[in-house]
Amino acid sequence: MSTLIPAKKEDYEALYQWFMVVRLVGSFVMEGGIWTLWKFGALDFDPRPILFALIPAYVVLNIFWISVLKKNFHPDVFLYVQLFFDVLVITIGVYFSGGSHSQFVFLYVAPIISASIVSLAATVLVSLEAFLLFELIILGEYTKILAPVTSSPLGLQGNEIIRFIVLFLIAVIVAFQSYYYFKEAREQEGEVAKIKDEFLLRTVHDLRAPSNAISWTLEKFDLPEYRARYPGLEKELFTIQDLNTRMLALLKDLGEVVKGGKSAVVLKREPVDLGKIIEEVSREFEQVMAAKSIHFASGLPESLPRVIGDSQALKEVFSNLIDNAIKYNRDGGSVIVEHQVNEQDIKIAVQDTGHGISQENLPKLFTLYFRGDVDKQIPGTGLGLYLVKRLVEKMDGKVEVVSKLGEGTTFT
């Protein structure tokens, strides 16, 4: 049985945080409700073990796990563990509120519904746990291993059998509904992704032909007679050729992304001058920066050690980062490229003074097609940062990002 939601850390964290809110609010509501019923003499059992031990211990456990989650533990594991404890705590509460005759037996439905949001497997496991633990209460009462907490007769009576059957049917319905709706949602997501991939594949195909034509045309201008006729164009033609070469390489990579990365991207392993690459890339954006009055500063020294990597891939990486730093910057802002040399590596930081990125969206930045809450009028495909991360990791590097809303973003 497979998980029906994406198995990503941020997805589990969001679910975990939502479940925490539900658990804490539910605990306080139960505490207040049972206390009120107790004071009005409406209960036929002693609620003190639940009021003064079980619910407080459950709240403390949840608060403790909030601190554990902040320490970057595995939230996917904690989701399942917490669901297990939810059922266990409810079982203890059911026992102290009347055992097999408890009016709180339907609380089992709550963790089953929560599990249905996680996956079909979680729904089945939580349902089985609930039935087994409730069955243990019945068996314990029948064998007199568990002491009665009320004066009601022991064992499962006729009305309890009906209650048990209804609870079982509710669990089955919840499991089926969760499977059906999440399956539908996944199919719709798959259709959207397929449409995007088909569109991108057609775009790659349509752009490759004119890019090749540009290359052939530029080759003509490399002939001696054209050089003699247009002596001042050599530098500009070289820049156009370099950009077009990178465009063709990018189209090739995009094609591989659409195909699921089946054909591996082959990168060179050679010494590369990062300062020179960043200088060349920044030159391409001079007119764009001038139009937005953006100040660009790069403090990379000529003595910067060379790194082992692919020059074209690194150009693509810094082109994407600098392009984003300009595109999402404010008029009159700045883009600063800084460096830090350690014993084992070199860190290059591209910092902007743009509008920043929310903490909620930071973990999703490098996801394919993700654009977050940016201004939709700013052109983009959600591919740039995905390719940046992919290329850097293929060169044994790492990409990190820090951002603050209203102040800017730094990619390192």
What is the tens place of the pLDDT at every residue in 303-335? Answer: 778 888 888 888 888 888 888 888 888 888 888
Tokens representing 299?
A: 């403090």
Helix (H, G, I), strand (E, B) or coil at 127: helix
Return the closest-CA partner of residue 334 out of 316, 354, 311, 307. 354
The predicted pLDDT at position 393 comes to: 86
| pLDDT beyond 60 at 2 | no
19: pLDDT confidence band, cut at 50, 70 and 90? confident
Q: What does the pLDDT average to over 14-21?
A: 74
Domains of the chain, CATH where assigned: 9-156 (no CATH), 270-411 (3.30.565.10)
Let me know how long the chain is.
Answer: 412
Q: What is the pLDDT of residues 196-218, one digit of tens each?
A: 666 666 666 556 666 666 666 66
In whole angstroms, how large is the CA radius of gyration of the chain? Answer: 31
Q: What is the pLDDT of residue 294?
A: 87
Average pLDDT of 272-297?
A: 84
As beta bridge partners, residue 329 has none
Residue 383's pLDDT band, with cuts at 50, 70 and 90, is: confident
Please check the confidence at residue 60 and state whether its pLDDT lies above 50.
yes
| Distance separating alpha carbons of residues 187 and 192, to the nearest angstrom | 9
How many other C-beta atoms are found inside a 10 Å radius of the C-beta of residue 75? 20
Look at residue 92 in the predicted model and tell me its pLDDT: 92
Distance of alpha carbon 289 from alpha carbon 292, whole angstroms: 5
Pairing assessment for the beta strands 295-298 and 334-341 based on DSSP bridges: parallel
Task: Tell me what percent of the residues of the chain surpass a pLDDT of 70.
Answer: 63
pLDDT greater than 50 at residue 154: no
321 close to 411: Cβ distance less than 8 angstroms: yes
Residue in this structure with the two tokens 């960043």, named with its chain if needed: 278
Instruction: Note the pLDDT of residue 168.
Output: 66
* Res 152 pLDDT > 80: no
Percent with pLDDT over 90 in the chain: 2
Residue predicted with more confidence, 161 or 345? 345
Tokens of 209: 């032909």
pLDDT at 169: 67
Which pLDDT does position 76 carry in this prediction? Answer: 64
Q: Are 50 and 97 in contact (CB under 8 A)?
A: yes
Q: Which residue has the higher pLDDT, 48 or 102?
A: 48
Confidence at residue 3, expressed as pLDDT on a 0 to 100 scale: 41
Tokens 């990486």 locate to 317
Average pLDDT estimate for 165-172: 66
Q: Which of 23-32, 73-82, 85-94, 288-297 is least confident?
A: 73-82
More confident residue, 242 or 51: 51
Question: pTM for this one?
Answer: 0.47
Report the range out of 27-31, 141-145, 255-259 with the highest average pLDDT: 27-31
Q: For position 345, what pLDDT does the model report?
A: 82
Asked if 292 contacts 249 with a C-beta cutoff of 8 angstroms, the reply is: no
Least confident range from 79-88, 89-98, 368-377: namely 368-377
SS3 408: strand
Three-state DSSP at 262 gives coil
Model confidence at 354: pLDDT above 70: yes
The per-residue pLDDT for 6 is 41
State the alpha helices, DSSP H only, in 264-367.
274-284, 286-291, 311-327
